[in-house]
Amino acid sequence: MNNRRWIWVAILVFLTGIGAGALYTVADSPDRANQWLAQADQAFASGHYEEALSLYKKAATIKSKSPEVQRKIELTEQKLKQPQTDASTAAAPPQSTQPAATVSAKQTEVPVNKGEVPNLIGMTLPDAEKLLLSLNIRYEYYIEASDKQKNTVFKQVPEAGKPIPSGGRVTFYVSRG
pTM for the model stands at 0.43
3-state SS, one letter per residue, for the chain: CHHHHHHHHHHHHHHHHHHHHHHHHHHHHHHHHHHHHHHHHHHHHCCCHHHHHHHHHHHHHHCCCCHHHHHHHHHHHHHHHCCCCCCCCCCCCCCCCCEEEEEEECCEEEEEECCECCCCCCCEHHHHHHHHHHCCCEEEEEEECCCCCCCEEEEEECCCCCECCCCCEEEEEEECC
Q: Is residue 73 part of a domain?
A: no
Indicate which CATH number applies to the domain containing 159.
3.30.10.20
Residue 18's domain comprises: 2-64
Residue 107 sits in the same domain as residue 171: yes
Residue 105 sits in the same domain as residue 160: yes
Q: Is residue 75 part of a domain?
A: no
Residue 35 sits in the same domain as residue 103: no
What integer is the mean pLDDT of 58-76?
A: 82
Q: What is the pLDDT of residues 3-20, one digit of tens each?
A: 788 787 777 766 666 655
Q: How many domains does one find in the chain?
A: 2
Q: What is the pLDDT of residues 93-148, one digit of tens each?
A: 333 333 444 444 443 455 667 789 999 999 999 999 999 988 889 999 999 999 99
For the chain, what is the mean pLDDT?
Answer: 76
